[in-house]
Amino acid sequence: MVRRLIAYLDSIKSRDPAPRSRAEIMLYPGVWSLAFHRVAHRLYRAELFFLARAINHMSRFLTGNDIHPGARIGQRFFIDHGFTVIGETAEIGDDVTIYQNVTLGGTDPANGIAGKRHPTIGSGTIIGSGAQVLGPVTVGPRSRIGANAVVTKNVPDGATMVGIPARQMLVDVTAYQRDFVPYGTPCSNNFDPATQKLELLQCEVEELRKRLAALAEEQGRQLRKSDDVEERGCA
């Protein structure tokens, strides 16, 4: 038990340069949020829903984070700062980092029957501050969700997503190979969201040009074929 706690605190130290000791990390609201959730989740699985909810509300009051007792959370999960909301059917893998003001929110089931309504977050994912991941989407392992991004569709493994709605951005290989990228996106000026949006628009323009060229070629073939038919008819 002690070894697991030490390993957990060390994993946080590797992701946050601010603390000077493990004892300091023990004061983090994200650490206490996870501890309360572990207890609440056990009670929830035992169908002691009222007690689970009571611990959830106490945790929210003390830490500012609202994690539904039904959420499934893997090992070494870290909420940096707070004011994060995680829904009932959310599933989170190992070594996931979430910054402040993040929501793993649900959608209203179309058939009125509650089911999987919240995201599934793959291991090693980093979610930047203010990001919203909504609905039963799957975020692939080692993905990066940029600050204030709104994710409503599945995210490929290792992708970096920015914008509203979130779209995949190109990342320099040296940044991609790093074990940890603070706030989910590289901060180099060469890879700012505005530049990435321009590159995406250029890609779309090139794709449209290819489609227009293909349509023009197809129309030319149809016209030549029609001319051939008319010539044979006159002969």
Q: What is the pLDDT along the chain (235 residues), one digit of tens a residue?
A: 788 889 999 888 888 888 888 999 999 999 999 999 999 999 999 999 999 999 999 999 999 999 999 999 999 999 988 899 999 999 999 999 999 899 999 887 665 567 889 999 999 999 988 899 999 999 999 999 988 899 999 999 988 888 888 888 766 544 445 566 665 565 554 455 555 556 556 666 777 877 888 888 888 888 877 776 666 666 5
37 and 87 fall within a common domain? yes
Cα(196)–Cα(200) distance, rounded to whole angstroms?
A: 6
HEC assignment per residue over 144-195: EECCCCEECCCECCCCEEECCCCEECCCCHHHHCCCCCHHHCCCCHHHCHHH
| pLDDT score recorded for residue 37 | 96
pLDDT at 173: 45
Does 127 share its domain with 173? yes
Could you tell me if 150 and 206 lie in one domain?
no
Q: Please tell me whether residues 167 and 207 are part of one structural domain.
A: no
In 3D space, the residue among 225, 163, 150, 148 whose CA is nearest the CA of residue 196 turns out to be: 163
Q: Domain range spanning residue 109?
A: 2-191
Cis peptide bond upstream of 69, omega within 30:
no
- 51 & 123 share domain: yes
Q: Domain check: are 82 and 196 in the same one?
A: no
Query: Is the same domain home to 58 and 151?
Result: yes
Are residues 168 and 202 both part of a single domain?
Answer: no
Q: How far, CA to CA in Å, does 50 sit from each of 33, 45, 72? A: 18, 12, 18
Residues 10 and 95 in one domain: yes
20 plus 47 within the same structural domain:
yes
Task: Give the pair of three-digit tokens for residue 38.
Answer: 């572990």
Domains of the chain: total: 2
CATH of the domain at 176: 2.160.10.10
The SS3 assignment for 219 reads helix
Based on the domain organization, do 37 and 6 belong to the same domain? yes
**Based on the domain organization, do 130 and 70 belong to the same domain?**
yes
Alpha helices in the chain (DSSP H): 2-15, 22-25, 29-45, 49-63, 173-176, 193-234
pTM: 0.72
